[in-house]
Chains A and B, each alone.
Chain A
Amino acid sequence: MKFKYTLEAITIIAIVAFSGLFLYTSSTMAGAEFAGSDNAGSRLIAELAGKPLENFQPLIPQWEPPSGEIESCLFALQAAVGGILVGGVFGFWIGSKKKA
């Protein structure tokens, strides 16, 4: 019988390699803070513009999540909406296939 799960295997290997790479870099790179690449980007913008970071204020007033916890809550909510959509549709397809 032909091996049916090549793609699954490659994906799992890639995810494990990715995680391994992360463990390696996070243990060897002393300065790595794993902040968003946005932050590194903003620092470069400030440098190029020759203005301190604090001078960049939102053009349109913006609500900011008061803490990291609340921010991660809202991100989780976004992922949950996506998860419900994906799971719901796959379930629907499996169900309608069984019926037919």
Chain B
Amino acid sequence: MEGFLPLQWCIVWWIVALPCLMIGLYQLKKILAADREALPLLGVTGGFIFILSSLKLPSVTGSCSHPTGTGLSTISFGPWITSVICAIVLLFQSLFLAHGGLSVLGANIVSMGIVGPLVGYAVYRMLRDTSVNMYLTVFLVTAIADMFTYATTSLELALAYPAETGGFVSSFVLFMGIFAITQIPLAIVEGLVLALVFKYIVALKPDILIRLKIFSEDKINAARDGAS
């Protein structure tokens, strides 16, 4: 939301966002040079960020919000490359849709492209080598990345606008009430949809998932045999 974040906070979040984008661009160059077949996977995972973040879905609170769609890309390429894709989407939305804006772009990249995916990635790394079902992992990573995106937005706003009584904490609770509660059902549906997409990627192109070491060969083969 252009204009709603004071200038000093815009600058702070830009400073946080820029190094992450640099890492992302560097990793992107490296991975595409190493494996040309990573490009189609990047197209699919990035494509879903484009599609899902353009949908404004109604929720139980009587307002609408966007899913983020960052889960698949986080699992496949990690949080930094995901930030780059998010930056592209967010730039498009700030330039042509008055959704976000150039001054708050840094803050939006931090919430959608960095904190959300980073937390999602942590969940993925914790579950990857356990016996937890692969699709359940994708579901959890996606839903959690989505929720943390909006928790971060609430945090960014609460830091800029602490309440007179209760300060930062009470305004964080208020913003969470608006953003996070609206987001819960969306995060669940989003998680399921991306888990389903992942199932089709496993069915069509298991070799790229194995080569990029996204899940172990055993797990992928087991999933293909079982086809849950």
Contact = CB atoms under 8 A, between A and B. Distances in A.
Interface in A15-53: 15, 18, 21-22, 25-26, 29, 31-42, 44-45, 48-49
A80 B192 CA distance: 21
Given A6-B228, A14-B192, A37-B64, A86 B204 contact: no
A100 B58 CA distance: 44
B170 to A, nearest CB: 10
B71 to A, nearest CB: 14
Q: For chain A, give the interface size range.
A: 35 or more
Interface string B107-147: 00000000000000000000000000001000000000000
Interface residues of B, number: 69
Q: List 4 tightest A-B contacts by C-beta distance, closest first.
A: A32-B62, A82-B50, A85-B47, A82-B51
Interface of A: 2, 4, 6-8, 10-11, 14-15, 18, 21-22, 25-26, 29, 31-42, 44-45, 48-49, 56-60, 62-65, 71, 74-76, 78-79, 81-86, 88-90, 92-94, 97
29 contacts: A7-B228, A11-B193, A14-B188, A22-B58, A25-B62, A26-B62, A33-B62, A34-B63, A37-B179, A38-B1, A41-B4, A44-B175, A48-B174, A58-B103, A60-B102, A62-B101, A65-B96, A71-B98, A75-B56, A78-B53, A79-B50, A82-B54, A83-B51, A84-B47, A86-B47, A89-B41, A89-B44, A93-B40, A93-B204
